[in-house]
Amino acid sequence: MPHLLIRACLGFVAGVVATYAIVLFGTVLVWSLIGVVDRDGGGHMALAFIIAPGFAIVGGLVAGVLAARWRGRNQAKTGGTGRPVFATLAGGAVGALVGWPVAMVIGSLARLMINDIRSFELAFAVLWTPTIAWAACAIIGALLATRFFASKPVSTK
- Range 2-8, long-range pairs (CB < 8 A, 24+ positions): 4/68, 5/68, 7/67, 7/68, 7/70, 8/64, 8/65, 8/67, 8/68
Model pTM score: 0.50
Cβ contact 136:96 at 8 Å: no
Residue 89: predicted pLDDT: 74
Cβ contact 102:134 at 8 Å: yes
Closest CA to 75 of 87, 64, 83: 83
More confident residue, 92 or 78: 92
Cβ contact 96:138 at 8 Å: yes
Model confidence pLDDT, tens digit, residues 31-72? 887 778 888 888 889 889 988 898 899 888 888 888 877 765
Lowest mean pLDDT across 43-47, 106-110, 152-156: 152-156
Residues in the chain: 157
Residue 29: predicted pLDDT: 85
Residue 73: predicted pLDDT: 47
Q: What are the extents of the domains in the chain?
A: 1-70, 82-157
